[in-house]
Copies of this chain bind each other. A is one copy, B any other.
């Protein structure tokens, strides 16, 4: 571990950057943040906070020039600037070409195919007309190649009558998987090549908003499925030759297949519980991996549930957290608010982690907390 004060620059100053800073404080690791929103969650906590676009070459390039290592907390950034910085000797993790790959779901799917990574069958579509031509592929998930995020740019086309809403831009159709479970495995790798994997977690999505609503760790899957999922996640980060932390979301099908759904080369919603539940949080692990420090133990200290605190439907404006007093009175309940003043429906305003040695009790308590806390205005 270098002792000279290395600056870590982060593109994006949202909740992921905020929780990264909370970890970095323990290491005296200075962090600079670039974010377009002057009121981003990181604004008061970074050693330097720059307001500016993540998409403009000059803004990203100038920001990065002051840093030694540059990372992201959102994929939608200017990769040309990152490549230029890399050429000039900055360490950029995840590497710019990986960010570019992730920015396009079409390339991502092609990558799985090229490297023998199991994923749902798919067909690339240039526009709405091409989706329509592939009507025999339905029921399918129609994804936009670019700009999809947190539920945007993803929709299910069940039958021909749905075809009219197909995305009229480069995208893809993916066979609708009749899955048994959705799971995620987080892996991390540093420049020395050390590689660690977290135990699989199980995600339950919001029925309409395509956002994680509940997460349970450990996933209730067989040791065989656990092993398969871990192997696939390791395979993905190795094939990408990536440095940093990578969340690999997977489907477990009813006949025991494990298929990669999507990946995120940064701390991810599916790892928030690690702050309290694991020996090393995903945020500290991200720091360790991009800074080329030794990686931390990934073991689970205690079964955990994670609940996203999403802005309640029908409320918009200054956020008010209902039920917080009751929630924090409970043993093993951890609130994380993200410092966002304004709420709107489904906005990620915070999360709650619940710890309980008894897995059945844990599920009950997670539902209780979920119904207790509401983000209103």
Report how far A18 CA is from B1 CA in the complex, Å: 23
A199 within 8 A of B: no
Interface bracket on A: 35 or more
A interface majority secondary structure: loop
- Rounded to whole angstroms, the CA-CA distance of A325 and B293 in the bound complex is 7
Cα distance A42–B332 in the bound complex, in angstroms: 28
Across the interface, do B28 and A337 meet the contact criterion of CB distance under 8 Å? yes
Q: Which of B25, B328, B338 contacts A1 (CB 8 A)?
A: B328
A328 and B296 contact, Cβ closer than 8 Å, known pairs A18-B25, A22-B25, A28-B337: yes
A112 at the interface (CB under 8 A from B): no
Q: Are B279 and A28 in contact (CB under 8 A)?
A: no
B-contacting residues, A1-57, CB 8 Å: 1, 3, 18, 22, 25-28, 44-47
Q: Give A282-339 interface residues, CB cut-off 8 Å to B.
A: 288, 293-294, 296-297, 299, 301-302, 320-321, 324-325, 328-329, 331-332, 334-339
A337 touches B301 (CB 8 A): no
Bound CA–CA A321/B1 (angstroms): 9
Report chain B residues within 8 Å CB of A299.
Answer: 331
**B1 and A334: CB pair below 8 A?**
no
Which residues, 233 to 253 on A, are CB-close (under 8 Å) to B? none
In the assembly, how many copies of this chain are there?
A: 2
Cα(A44)–Cα(B288), bound, Å: 22
Contact A332 B1 (CB under 8 A): no
Contacts A26-B336, A301-B302 given: A329-B294 contact, CB under 8 Å?
Answer: yes
CA distance A331 to B301 in the complex (A): 11
Chain A positions 66 through 95: 1 when the CB is less than 8 Å from some CB of chain B, otherwise 0? 000000000000000000000000000000
Instruction: Output the nearest chain B residue to A288 by Cβ-Cβ distance.
Output: B328
Q: In the complex, A123→B12 CA distance in Å?
A: 61
Which of B18, B47, B320 meets A44, CB within 8 Å? B47
**A3: nearest residue on chain B (CB-CB)?**
B320
Tell me whether B47 and A328 are in contact (CB under 8 A): no
On chain B, the residues within 8 Å of A25 by CB distance are 18, 22, 45, 339
Contacts of A28 in B (CB 8 A): 337-339
The complex places the Cα of A28 from the Cα of B18 at a distance, in Å, of: 11
Q: How far is the CA of A297 from the CA of B327 in the complex (A)?
A: 12
Residues of A within 8 A of B (CB): 1, 3, 18, 22, 25-28, 44-47, 279, 288, 293-294, 296-297, 299, 301-302, 320-321, 324-325, 328-329, 331-332, 334-339, 355
Pairs of residues from A and B, 5 with the lowest C-beta to C-beta distance, nearest first: A297-B331, A294-B329, A28-B337, A1-B325, A26-B336
A-B contact pairs, 20 of them (CB 8 A): A1-B325, A1-B328, A3-B321, A18-B25, A22-B25, A25-B45, A26-B335, A26-B336, A26-B337, A27-B335, A28-B339, A44-B47, A279-B355, A288-B328, A294-B325, A294-B328, A296-B328, A297-B332, A301-B301, A301-B302
